[in-house]
Chains A and B, each alone.
Chain A
């Protein structure tokens, strides 16, 4: 059947639609650069979604737990082997994603007799300065998005992922307006929670085109916080330490939320 080219294209299109449907309910994850590092944050969920990959690299992912696990493990193995044979300074997110993960995900997606990876991933690598932070979103088909960054030029200081494109785009437009790269931790925590809230609200409706009202965001956020937990981790910019990732506890974050 798929010897004919158009059949193949059709099969790929079906596969894309299937995966998009599967991912559509995925709760948003935000990664925001601030003065002292990068904050990863999401709410709720029965499974862990934010992971340490290497000294300066972390991952947030939605999708099938089995697929996330395989990709996460592959990323850790690659980074660890590279860091061991050369130096930890030679482990780079750009190379990890561009040369290793993306090609594998693409071929799994296009070989329609085999299973694709049902996962959408958001990687971040903390730099010495906020300008050197790198954010990469990797799709199930191997597509890499840099959230507006142009190769070799200044990057945006955040990245998000969500179940749907609409949800992601609204979060991005909110953060473009609200988020500054040299924000304090309290400020960045608030932006991350608000962005997550906007993303999650958007997932509940089919036709959200514009950002919701502030009051509505606040109310929704308070409701969600009342019945779910916060999952968060930071990549610290502190150059005195080799290992920058640290998971944050729900309890310590709630103490900093004042509205």
Chain B
């Protein structure tokens, strides 16, 4: 039978490919990068490979679910390329992913992930489990690791989703560039400005007015804004809050009802009262 657009394999079984495998079969996704440490690692006279993840992303659990916030700055070396980048991305009705790292790879990863979840639901006629979703992102990171070793395409994401089974609660995960996944109990931060943010969140959680998980939405937003502003103070790659340009971080919340994106006006109000 002649080949056609529809790759109809006579031995086809519905339990077959996941979405990235389908894309590879159709030649729409580059093959998993080959990890070749000898070729591209630092040698004599070569600069050591340094991870670049110029941005600040944070997420923590509060009384209304998980809040995820990211600054808007995109940089290339010392240059600010864009000041309205969206680094907090919706993957499906209950999941969001925030990215630190190379935007091209990160956005592509988000796109693959988004389609993977839909593809699974449509072909297998059931929703992908939370573990399955967390693992799918892990697999994408691992497939990308060859590029990371070559000094390009490093991505370090945070992922939050709402788990309805067995105990309904919002869940938060962070990853390393190799794809290891860690579930966060209270908070996670990634990117070049994250050390400062981690310090603040740790401090707030232990010695603040109340633990992060007890915060109201307004309190949570004000801590997120303060943390990003602090990160931007010393990290050139983090935009923080642009007071003159009135550009605020992007904040999304995952809760039982799905995803809420806070409006700029709402963030501006909290900013004026609690941060500025």
Contact = CB atoms under 8 A, between A and B. Distances in A.
Real binding pair: yes
Interface of A: 48, 51-54, 69-70, 73-74, 76-78, 80-81, 83-85, 99-101, 103-104, 107-108, 111, 114, 243
Contacts of B93: 243
Nearest to B112: A84
Among B2, B5, B93, find the residue whose CB has the most chain A CB atoms closer than 10 A: B5
A69 B122 CA distance: 12
Given A48-B125, A73-B14, A80 B5 contact: no
B119 interface: yes
A107 B2 contact: yes
Contact of B6 (A74, A83, A85): A74
25 contacts: A52-B122, A54-B122, A73-B14, A74-B7, A76-B119, A76-B123, A77-B6, A77-B22, A78-B5, A80-B19, A80-B118, A81-B22, A81-B23, A81-B28, A83-B115, A84-B19, A84-B23, A84-B112, A85-B28, A100-B4, A100-B5, A100-B6, A103-B4, A104-B6, A243-B118
A99 B5 contact: yes
Top 4 nearest A-B pairs (CB, nearest first) are A74-B6, A100-B5, A104-B6, A100-B6
A157 B176 CA distance: 52
Nearest to B28: A85
B8 interface: yes
B28 A76 contact: no
Interface residues of B, number: 24
A77 B125 CA distance: 14
Contacts of B207: none
Given A81-B22, A84-B28, A84-B112, A111 B14 contact: no
Contacts of B8: 70, 74, 104, 108
Interface of B: 1-2, 4-8, 12, 14, 19, 22-23, 26, 28, 93, 111-112, 115, 118-119, 121-123, 125
Contacts, number: 59
Nearest to B125: A48
Given A76-B123, A243-B93, 12 more contacts: A52-B121, A73-B123, A74-B8, A76-B119, A78-B5, A81-B28, A84-B28, A84-B115, A99-B5, A100-B4, A107-B1, A111-B1
Contacts of B12: 70, 73
A114 B1 contact: yes
A83 to B, nearest CB: 7
Contacts of B1: 107-108, 111, 114
Contacts of A48: 125
B121 to A, nearest CB: 8
Among B2, B6, B93, find the residue whose CB has the most chain A CB atoms closer than 10 A: B6
Contacts of A84: 19, 23, 28, 111-112, 115
B105 to A, nearest CB: 16
B94 to A, nearest CB: 12
A114 B4 CA distance: 16
A103 B112 CA distance: 29
Given A84-B111, A107-B1, A101 B6 contact: yes
A78 B123 CA distance: 12
Contacts of A104: 4, 6, 8
Contacts of A78: 5-6
B10 to A, nearest CB: 8
B26 A81 contact: yes
A112 to B, nearest CB: 13
A10 B16 CA distance: 38
A52 B8 CA distance: 19
A108 B123 CA distance: 23
Among A73, A84, A111, find the residue whose CB has the most chain B CB atoms closer than 10 A: A84
Contacts of A111: 1
A85 B115 CA distance: 11
A52 to B, nearest CB: 5
A243 B115 CA distance: 12
Contacts of B118: 80, 243
A52 B2 CA distance: 28
A80 B14 contact: no
B119 A80 contact: yes
Contacts of B6: 74, 77-78, 100-101, 104
A148 B197 CA distance: 63
B26 to A, nearest CB: 5
A53 B115 contact: no
